[in-house]
Each structure stands twice: as C-alpha cells, then as structure tokens.
C-alpha cells in the first residue's frame, strides 16, 4: 500500500509523534495502519477523516485500501436509493464531506439520505445535484425521480392511517 510506504519513508527521517502531530492523527492509528497489509485483513475501521488527513498530507490519490476501508463504514441499507447513492459515491472515490461541499450541503443531511433516515423530495435542489454529480444516465435519473415521487405519495398514505389520525 502506498500510504504505508509514505509513512515508513517519513518515519525513517522523523518520529511517530512528529508525523502524528503534523498530520493531526492519533499515533495509534498510524501504528495500526503500518501493521496491516490490506483493509480486508484489518479488523480496524479507520474513519474517513483519518484516512483523508493521511492521504492529503502525502498528496496521494485514493486507492484500493482507502476504498476497502470506506466500504466497512458503509454497509448496505434496506433503503435501495440510499444504497445506490452510497455505491455511486464510493465508486467515484468521493467522501461524504467532498460531495457535501460540492453541492453546498450539510454532510449530516447527505448521510441521512444515504442511510434513508430522511426522505428527499424529487424536486430537491440537492437531490438534483446528487443525480448530476453521480453521473446517472438519463433513464436512471428519470427512474430515481419517479421512485422518490412514489415514496412521497406512500408516506402520505401511511400518515393518513396513523393511529393518531384514526377515529374510534
């Protein structure tokens, strides 16, 4: 892994504490990263912020290790659209923070869409930008819009039958 090579090169010239302070990453995280030869062999999940800090410090492109580690944080959800958005983002090597900055949106909102804690509007400025950023085909875009519209209608039907709204 290139990140390990860069860390080892730096450690030949400096100290673990020094690099930890320069990057802004806990030295224990660096030790763990140096120990494992791939993300699949590593039980540890590095936060995206930790990996981003290290990759940015060395000016490295995101690689297979980065992607494998990121996928540990993003298990499939039962919500198909959120899962599709997440898979497209990861396949494009983009972090939640990067996409949120690009569309000028709060990263928590984007995380809620991906985990399906929040139902988007098909007319939403942010959803339209996500669809464009993720480069869905025109057919996929139309399908996503219809899906969100249908879900919105289903939520209205569900709300109509909430126990609080039932007489009796």
* pLDDT tens for each residue of 102-143: 988 888 888 888 876 655 555 567 788 888 899 999 999 999
**Cα-flanking dihedrals φ and ψ of residue 80, to 5°?**
-65, -40
Mean pLDDT for 60-67 is 85
- Taking the domain 75-165, which CATH number applies? 1.10.260
Measure the CA dihedral 109/98/131/125, to 10°: 50
Instruction: Say if residues 51 and 69 touch (Cβ distance below 8 Å).
Output: yes
Domain locations along the chain: 2-72, 75-165
Condensed to tens digits (0 to 9), the pLDDT of residues 80-101 reads 888 888 889 888 988 888 999 9
């Amino acid at each position: 892994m290139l990140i390990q090579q860069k860390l080892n090169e730096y450690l030949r010239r400096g100290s673990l504490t020094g690099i930890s302070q320069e990057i802004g990453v806990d030295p224990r995280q660096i030790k763990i990263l140096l120990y494992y030869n791939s993300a699949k062999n590593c039980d540890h999940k590095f936060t995206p912020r930790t990996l981003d800090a290290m990759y940015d410090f060395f000016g490295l492109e995101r690689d297979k290790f980065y992607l494998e580690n990121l996928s540990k944080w993003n298990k499939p959800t039962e919500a198909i659209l959120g899962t599709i958005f997440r898979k497209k983002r990861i396949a494009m090597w983009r972090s939640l923070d990067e996409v949120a900055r690009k569309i000028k949106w709060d990263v928590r909102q984007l995380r809620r869409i991906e985990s399906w804690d929040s139902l988007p509007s098909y007319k939403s400025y942010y959803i339209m930008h996500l669809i464009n950023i993720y480069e869905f085909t025109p057919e996929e875009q139309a399908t996503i819009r219809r899906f969100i519209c249908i879900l919105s209608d289903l939520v209205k039907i569900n709300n109509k039958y909430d126990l609080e709204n039932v007489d009796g």
